[in-house]
């Protein structure tokens, strides 16, 4: 196994069988995490990029079995911010020192192209990079967001196992998910994708396929997080993913895609109180603190135990910055584009 880790660190290539071998034992986890940390340091450096997350609507027309925002969950109080609130949260994030905001929501058709265009243009005037995470759209809709100034788009593939995906995301097609990612690439977005770890019925082989999919797509950002069962969803009695396996999928992703941006996900911190710092020392280089203000934080409830629901953006910024500095890592002051992306454009 040590030879496989060495090969991954030096060549950034592993076969599916080799990935499966590393994912099947926890005996060499420490070596994998250390190798991923070295690769992170060599390719993307010590700086940690902070992206301010604005959760602007928890209304969703989709019905993903794992997600608390699913259409058929009657136990969530729904909200939708208006454009001025969203722009205001972005302005406050800029004043705190953020250079990027991530606008995330359920698939809420109220936010049509015209409304999104206004929000994107207004936020660009604040000199912020914008990441959108608002689900599956048409090519023309993605094009309109890009023309309005959006820089990046996050759309996790969730799992590359087509049958599993289509059983967990009713009425959504795996082909369409992939079509979206290809359209986004073609339109010149920095594209983020990723997977959930620990979905019911998910195999180690399919996790290996997920990592190889990220590489074949040449994704610019990859978010890996544990699936955490939500008591208000059909998957409430499932086991969910573990912190350790999620961390390992993330670290192997770093070994195979050395220069991409990888967040230390909030879901990891939900399962381990030092989860984000451990992830930052095992291959991650991005953190996405919440900059949504007020009661909305707790209403955007994908899974139970979400961190920081009663905190303010200023508190979160200070808290996470202090933690990051405590492990000897500086906070980046730039927009945090992938280097390869800047060279290409």
Residues in Cβ contact with 85 at an 8 Å cutoff, skipping those fewer than 6 apart: 56
Query: What residues between 89 and 118 interact with ligand SF4 by CB under 6 A?
Result: 106-107
Residue 275 makes contact with ligand SAM by CB under 6 A: no
**Helix pair angle (139-148, 174-186), 10° resolution:** 30
Rounded to a whole number of angstroms, the minimum distance from the CB of residue 109 to ligand SF4 is 12
- Residues binding ligand SF4: number (CB under 6 A): 9
Structural contact between residues 290 and 313, judged by C-beta atoms closer than 8 angstroms: yes
What distance in Å separates the CA atoms of residue 312 and residue 186, rounded to the nearest whole number? 37
Q: How far is the CB of 177 from ligand SF4 (least distance, A)?
A: 11
Q: Is 229 in the site for ligand SF4 (CB under 6 A)?
A: no
Distance of alpha carbon 340 from the chain centroid: 19
Residues 292-321 that bind ligand SAM (CB under 6 A): 302-303
**Residue window 206-225: x/- pattern of binding to ligand SAM, with contact defined by CB under 6 A:** -------------------x
Whether residue 224 contacts residue 250, with contact meaning beta carbons closer than 8 Å, is answered with yes
Task: Give the residue with the Cβ less far from ligand SAM, 265 or 282.
Answer: 265
**Other residues' Cβ atoms within 10 Å of the Cβ of residue 49:** 23
Rg, Å, the chain Cα set:
19
Shortest gap between Cβ of 58 and ligand SF4 (angstroms)? 8
Contact between residue 87 and residue 123 where contact means Cβ atoms under 8 Å apart: yes
Residue of 52, 135, 313, 336 interacting with ligand SAM (CB under 6 A):
135
CA-closest candidate to residue 195, choices 185, 182, 181, 183: 181
What gap in Å lies between CA 20 and CA 208, rounded to an integer?
A: 6
Q: Quick check: 248 binds ligand SF4 (CB under 6 A)?
A: no
Interface residues for ligand SAM in 37-76 (CB under 6 A)?
Answer: 66-67, 69
Q: Which stretch binds ligand SAM (CB under 6 A): 94-102, 203-211, 227-235, 289-297?
A: 227-235
Q: What is the C-alpha to C-alpha distance for residues 87 and 205, in angstroms, rounded to an integer?
A: 43
| CA-to-CA dists, residue 185 to 250, 297, 328, angstroms | 22, 31, 34
Which of the stretches 45-53, 66-74, 256-264, 304-312 binds ligand SF4 when contact is defined by CB under 6 A? 66-74
Backbone angles phi, psi at 30, to 5 degrees: -60, -45
* 158 makes contact with ligand SAM (CB under 6 A): yes
Chosen from ligand SAM, ligand SF4, none, partner binding at 55 (C-beta under 5 to 8 Å by type): none
Among left, alpha and beta (phi > 0; psi -120 to 50; other), residue 193 is beta
Looking at beta carbons only, is 64 or 195 nearer to ligand SF4? 64
Neighbours of 110 (CB within 10 A): 9
Residue 70 binding: pick among ligand SF4, ligand SAM, none (C-beta 5-8 Å cut-off by kind): ligand SF4
Residues belonging to the binding site for S-adenosyl-L-methionine are: 158, 177
| Smallest gap from residue 81 Cβ to ligand SF4 (A) | 15
Distance CA 277, CA 326 (A): 10
The residue ranges that bind ligand SF4 (CB under 6 A) are 60, 62, 64, 67, 69-70, 106-107, 135
The residue ranges that bind ligand SAM (CB under 6 A) are 66-67, 69, 104, 106-107, 133, 135, 155-156, 158, 196, 225, 227-228, 230, 267, 302-303
């Amino acid at each position: 196994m040590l030879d496989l880790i060495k090969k991954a660190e030096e060549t950034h290539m592993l076969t599916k069988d080799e990935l499966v071998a590393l994912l099947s034992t926890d005996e060499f986890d420490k070596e994998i995490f250390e190798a991923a940390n070295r690769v992170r340091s060599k390719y993307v450096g010590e700086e940690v990029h902070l992206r301010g997350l604005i959760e602007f609507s928890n209304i969703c027309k989709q019905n993903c079995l794992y997600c608390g925002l699913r259409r058929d969950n009657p136990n969530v109080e729904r909200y939708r911010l208006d454009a001025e609130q969203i722009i205001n949260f972005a302005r406050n994030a800029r004043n705190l020192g953020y250079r990027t905001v991530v606008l995330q929501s359920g698939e809420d058709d109220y936010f049509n192209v015209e409304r999104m265009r206004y929000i994107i243009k207004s936020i660009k005037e604040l000199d912020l990079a914008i990441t959108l995470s608002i689900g599956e759209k048409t090519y023309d809709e993605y094009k309109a967001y890009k023309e309005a100034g959006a820089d990046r788009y996050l759309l996790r593939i969730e799992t590359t196992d087509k049958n599993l995906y289509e059983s967990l995301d009713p009425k959504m097609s795996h082909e369409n998910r992939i079509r979206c990612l290809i359209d986004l690439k073609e339109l010149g977005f920095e594209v983020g994708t990723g997977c959930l770890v620990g979905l019911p019925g998910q195999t180690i082989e399919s996790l290996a396929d997920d990592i190889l999919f990220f590489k074949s797509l040449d994704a610019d950002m990859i978010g890996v997080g544990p699936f955490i069962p939500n008591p208000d969803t059909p998957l409430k009695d499932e086991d969910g993913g573990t912190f350790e396996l999620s961390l390992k999928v993330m670290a192997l992703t770093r070994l195979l895609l050395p220069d991409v941006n990888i967040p230390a996900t909030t879901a990891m911190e939900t399962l381990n109180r030092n989860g984000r710092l451990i992830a930052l020392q095992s291959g991650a280089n991005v953190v996405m603190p919440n900059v949504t203000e007020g009661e909305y934080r707790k209403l955007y409830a994908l899974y139970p135990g979400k961190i920081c629901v009663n905190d303010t953006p200023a508190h979160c910024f200070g808290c996470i910055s202090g933690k990051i500095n405590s492990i000897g890592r500086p906070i980046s002051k730039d927009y945090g584009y992938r280097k390869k992306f800047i060279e290409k454009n």
